[in-house]
Amino acid sequence: MSHYTPTNPTVSVLMAVHDAGATVRRCVESLQGQTLANFELVAVDAGSDDDTLRQLEALAERDMRVRVVQAGPCSRPDALNLALERARGRYVLVMDSRGWAERTMLQGLVDLASEGSLELAMGGFAVSLLTGGGRSASMEAAGEDALFPTQHDFRAAAWGPFASGQMLSSCAKLFLREYLVDHEVRFSAGGGFDHAFVISALADVERVGALGGVCCHVGRRLAPFLGSDAAMGGYRRLEEEHDALLALYRHWGLEGDAASMDMLQSRYVERLLGCIEGVCGKMSRLPSVEQRRIVATMIETDRAQVAASVAHPRGSAARAMLAPIRSKNAALVCVQTRLLSFVSPGIARVTPDLFA
């Protein structure tokens, strides 16, 4: 449909917003400029203290496709669940209030989903990272056009988008709303960002397609070193996500698939090295004794030992860390991590979904 129909939008765009006054206007305007006009934006304000709500209400006054819900202080999952409950579109898509969309994002994903009768159509996304001192970096998670007409086809190939970081983020993913409702897929805490929601949606999906290239962008400001509590929080999220991915592959009956298991173990090691670098890399201000204590809890588990024995992480620096981890030598891991982080920050080549 080329024109907006209030009771029957093609796409419901879901957005949780909190103190996004600096970016929310650009985000909404990138949706308003879409080549697909028949969509609605359900924006749930989760108790913003800045001018976010005022900006959204002003945009809604001029565009009936923008619907603003004041939820008061609440979590991102709660805000997105509220938006999902209010959605009326055939498809739903999650939009990040600190990002923006290419003009053809909705039309491209809808065309792909409609032509293939898909339950999930996914595109690529790019993440812009602003680090300390005004430095910036960018990462992309995008592939080629692909169609997986059967559940078996999708599951057998899923390790690829997982490995590239495209699969777990909710960015640039168009879900058939009927499928989400029928399978009671909801947003929930844990797993980092919306990863738990995506994993739940992937469990029984049958027809999936991918749109080549980048169709949306996300901006992230990296926080400075926040201490041991933050480091352990990231580690706990890693463990929760790995548990969820293992459960997904058990559900799929692919525990013995070599490519899938290599992806899972390599992903785990790369994320683990990221946690370790946060504890004892060059930016760490933790005492050495505390660094060794935290790192020991991370590397001495059976899971870490198995992963370090079989994983194939990308990059020579990451591979150089495997032997110290296998030896369970926390002191050596800390020293080597700090040295490597001075030479090349970012020992492991973490995937873009870590930030989206």
Instruction: Assess whether 67 and 165 both reside in one domain.
Output: yes
How many beta carbons lie within 10 A of that of residue 304, not counting itself?
20
User: Which helix (H) or strand (E) segment is 110 a member of?
Assistant: helix 105-116
Query: Per-residue pLDDT tens for 335-352?
Result: 999 998 887 766 667 788
Instruction: Assess whether 153 and 243 both reside in one domain.
Output: no
**Among 196, 221, 246, residue at a domain's last position:** 221
Tokens (6 digits) for 262: 């290599």
* Separation of alpha carbons 132 and 111, rounded Å: 41
Instruction: Assess whether 71 and 199 both reside in one domain.
Output: yes
Number of domains in the chain: 2
How confident is residue 130, by pLDDT bands cut at 50, 70 and 90?
confident
Tokens (6 digits) for 31: 């949706």
Q: Tell me, what DSSP letter sits at residue 119?
A: S
Instruction: Assess whether 214 and 235 both reside in one domain.
Output: no
In which domain, by residue range, is 254 found? 228-350
Instruction: Assess whether 171 and 245 both reside in one domain.
Output: no
Averaged over 3-7, what is the pLDDT?
74
Instruction: Give the position of tokens 């469990």.
Output: 203
Are residues 131 and 222 in contact, defined by beta-carbon separation less than 8 angstroms? yes
* Strand blocks (E) in the chain: 11-17, 39-45, 66-70, 91-94, 99-101, 120-130, 136-141, 146-148, 173-176, 208-221
Averaged over 138-162, what is the pLDDT?
94
Instruction: Assess whether 63 and 197 both reside in one domain.
Output: yes
Beta bridge partners of 41: 13, 66
Enter the pTM of the model. 0.92
Instruction: Tell me the residue type at 319.
Output: R
Dihedral class, residue 190 (left if φ above 0, else alpha if ψ from -120 to 50, else beta): left
* Choice among 109-113, 134-138, 169-173, 190-194 with the minimum mean pLDDT: 190-194
